[in-house]
Structure 1
Amino acid sequence: MKILTTKIIFIAGLFSFLSSWGQLPQTKSVNGLLITVESNLLNVPPKDKYIKVADSLDKNLARNSNDTTSLFNRALIYYLYNQMLAEPYQHTKGTLENLTRAKTQIENAIKMGMQDFRAKQLRAQIYSELCFRFTNDESWMFSKVQMTSRKKLFDNYKAMANRYIDELAMLDKNNAYQYTKRKISYTYKL
């Protein structure tokens, strides 16, 4: 009887552990910053943790591109693995493209009527991360045309990030100071 009980507890624990690797990331707001529950401000979930979830969300969005919850969650996963903490080098291949996908998805979710405050937080954070991707530009890396294009993108992302940060400060008065500290003040250096 004792062996049977031990086996049941082991199987239940194993099932609980394995199923946690296939669930959507849960979020919370800490000082006005949206983070995942299992992470904190200084770490990122393991690279393979949300692969199956991301595949499932991609399939769901292929069938129903208006699903705001799927758009939010897919944008969140893109953000998690392409933010500064996950990919600190600004020119890591694919990060700018993935953040651009995240931006498009969260914008679509909000345009379709998603009222969740977390979506607005995520949108502001994505725009801030997009700006970060332009901070290491050097003149030897790009042609004049590329520099002009990148400056235009940076200025647009900066304006949008600051606009959305101001909106968050108005909506969340308790964290207004935290939001204003995150406003982007630097300029594109090329």
Structure 2
Amino acid sequence: MKKNSILLLLIICSALYSKAQLPQTKSVFGRLYTVEDGLLQVPPKEKYAKVADSLDKNLEKNQNDTVSLFNRALIYYAYNQMLAAPYQRTKGTLENMTRAKELIEKAIRTGMNDFRAKQLRAQIYSELCFRFTGDESWMFNKVQFASRKKLFESYKLLANRYFDELAAQDKNNAYEYKKRKVDFIYNH
């Protein structure tokens, strides 16, 4: 009886643990995707809520844990990218992508050399640029527009620089990186 109880407890714990795994990634034609059930898609939000909380707690204890920084940035990216929130002005997406940018920059600055981190960084900057394409003249005053345009231009410059760096490092996908460079302009 006691052996059956222990076995049942182990099965339950392993099932719970397997549901709290980090999202897997896959690079396809130089683009980093999250993999959900074998498909390249946006993972269900509720599936990684506990993982995100755990990563946040871990980062409170160890702010320089590059793996946690990368994984938390990846989760922010997965739920705030164009595929997950196609309307540019979706509430919270710009703020969350900005947080993802801060996390991935810190991971790379702290010494993370994983090529996926560099891919994620370029994609985050590209997504940040996309978030500004929904700006219209009635939404902001002149000062706000000037501030947002400056931010957009700096993100565009960095996104394009990072895509160029990726193209130089990953010759097999150089065309794909060059094709994804940000070419739109900020206007209202």
Pair in the same fold by TM > 0.5 = yes
Q: What 5-or-longer segments of structure 1 have no aligned partner?
A: none
Q: What 5-or-longer segments of structure 2 have no aligned partner?
A: none
User: Does 1:74 find its partner at 2:72?
Assistant: yes
Match for residue 173 of structure 2 among 172, 175, 186: 175
Tell me the percent identity. Answer: 71
Cα deviation code 1:85-123 (max 9, x no counterpart): 101111111110100000000000000110000000000
Deviation for aligned residue 1:15: 6.0
Structure-2 residue corresponding to 1:87: 85
Structure-2 residue corresponding to 1:124: 122
What letter is aligned with 1:54? A
Deviation for aligned residue 1:17: 5.1
1:143-162 equivalences in 2 (<5 Å)? 143-162=141-160
SS of equivalent residue, structure 1 residue 35: strand
Match for residue 46 of structure 1 among 36, 44, 49: 44
Structure-2 residue corresponding to 1:163: 161
Deviation for aligned residue 1:19: 3.0
SS of equivalent residue, structure 1 residue 49: helix
SS of equivalent residue, structure 2 residue 43: coil
What letter is aligned with 1:103? K
Match for residue 54 of structure 2 among 43, 53, 56: 56
State the TM-score, normalizing by the size of structure 2.
0.91
In structure 1, distance between residues paired with 2:18 and 2:150: 42
Deviation for aligned residue 1:47: 1.3
In structure 1, distance between residues paired with 2:127 and 2:64: 25
Structure-2 residue corresponding to 1:34: 32
What letter is aligned with 1:30? V
Cα deviation code 1:39-90 (max 9, x no counterpart): 645x311111110000000000001101000000000000000000101111
Deviation for aligned residue 1:21: 2.2
**Aligned-pair Cα RMSD in Å:** 1.7
Structure-1 residue corresponding to 2:22: 24
In structure 2, distance between residues paired with 1:110 and 1:47: 26
Aligned residues: 181
What letter is aligned with 2:105? E
In structure 2, distance between residues paired with 1:40 and 1:149: 39
Structure-1 residue corresponding to 2:111: 113
In structure 2, distance between residues paired with 1:173 and 1:62: 38
**Mean CA deviation greater in 118-127 or 16-25:** 16-25
State the TM-score, normalizing by the size of structure 1.
0.90
What letter is aligned with 1:79? Y
Deviation for aligned residue 1:20: 3.0
In structure 2, distance between residues paired with 1:185 and 1:73: 28
